[in-house]
């Protein structure tokens, strides 16, 4: 969810750390919590504002539309503005007859055309499409590597944790990476008709190849009182394909709250891992790939 970064910053010796804190978790619905989240959109901490916008999207309450529309145009942090755009698209889709739709649509169009962040422009345009208002001006990958464009091979992912759900989490990581790439970079191809292409296959179509893989390095559950906090960390690499010459290492982490229920904690663990993968793909990997291709 960040702006385009130069390759020189992607060094193994100095891995990038993306901190995404989902304070309220994935199951927010009560009106009092929504009012609190709306107030947090004005907090001095960008992390608190980001968490508020993310959780207002999950809550789906109509009363959050106006505050989110304000944050979309006025917040100083591009991550918060992007989250506000996503939230607006989701909430308006759930409340298509809302009286606030016109104002929110106008703000989304303004952001899609004029925001200083390409990420925010993309999220605003996606939100406009979601609510059936048409897309704005976005910055999407334009292909590269000749007329063929870009092919991204997503690796099998791995885990260093002791969780009994590792196989499920690895599958979730792969699915999330592929889905996020398809959403934020639809011109990048993640599948191949004959299976996996080799260098000759890519050359014939004039395509540039990249490889993305990740490792779940930490998954901790800390219980306190009647609830729990789930923390996760993911390390991802970015390489050329098919040579797999690594040129980027990235790390991301998140924390999600849950109840004392084992099933709720399992869902929160999945939310945590999903949030980190989505963040790294959107904010780091896609912009880096775009910067590598002429």
For the chain, list the domains and their CATH numbers: 28-130 (1.25.10.10), 149-292 (3.40.50.10610)
- H or E element at residue 265: helix 262-280
pLDDT at 32 (0 to 100): 53
Query: Closest by alpha carbon to 254, among 237, 229, 236, 276?
Result: 276
pLDDT at 72 (0 to 100): 93
pTM above 0.75, yes or no: no
Looking at residue 41, the DSSP 8-state letter turns out to be T
Rounded (10°) angle between helices 101-114 and 78-94: 140
pLDDT at 3 (0 to 100): 35
Strands (DSSP E) contained in 54-206 are: 149-154, 158-159, 188-189
Query: Which token pair is 5?
Result: 């970064």
Instruction: State the burial class of residue 5 (Cβ atoms within 10 Å of its Cβ: 0-12, 13-18, 19+).
Output: middle
pLDDT at 10 (0 to 100): 28
Per-10-residue mean pLDDT for the chain, 294 residues long?
31 30 35 82 91 91 91 91 93 91 88 89 91 58 52 93 83 93 90 90 93 93 88 92 90 87 89 90 91 83
């Amino acid at each position: 969810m960040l702006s385009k970064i130069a390759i020189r910053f992607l060094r193994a010796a100095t891995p990038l750390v993306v901190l995404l804190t989902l304070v309220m978790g994935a199951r927010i619905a009560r009106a009092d919590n929504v009012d609190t989240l709306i107030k947090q959109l004005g907090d001095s901490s960008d992390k608190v504002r980001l968490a508020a916008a993310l959780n207002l999207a999950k809550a789906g309450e109509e009363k959050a539309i106006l505050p989110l529309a304000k944050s979309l145009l006025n917040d100083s942090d591009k991550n918060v503005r992007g989250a506000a755009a996503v939230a607006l698209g989701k909430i308006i889709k759930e409340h298509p007859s809302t009286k606030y739709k016109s104002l929110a649509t106008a703000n989304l169009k303004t952001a899609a055309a004029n925001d200083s962040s390409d990420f925010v422009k993309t999220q605003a345009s996606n939100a406009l499409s979601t609510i059936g208002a048409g897309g704005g001006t976005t910055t999407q990958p334009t292909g590269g590597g000749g007329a063929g464009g870009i092919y991204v091979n997503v690796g099998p992912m791995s885990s260093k944790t002791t969780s009994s759900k590792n196989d499920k989490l690895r599958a979730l990581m792969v699915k999330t990476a592929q889905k996020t790439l398809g959403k934020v970079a639809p011109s990048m191809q993640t599948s191949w008709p004959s299976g996996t292409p080799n260098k000759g296959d890519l050359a014939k179509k004039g395509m540039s190849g990249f490889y993305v893989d990740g490792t779940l390095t930490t998954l901790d559950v800390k219980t306190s009182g009647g609830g729990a906090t789930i923390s996760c960390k993911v390390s991802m690499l970015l390489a050329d394909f098919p040579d797999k010459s690594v040129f980027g290492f990235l790390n991301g982490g998140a924390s999600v709250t849950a109840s004392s229920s084992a099933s709720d904690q399992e869902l929160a663990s999945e939310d945590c891992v999903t949030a980190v993968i989505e963040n790294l793909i959107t904010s780091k990997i896609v912009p880096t790939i775009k910067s590598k291709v002429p």
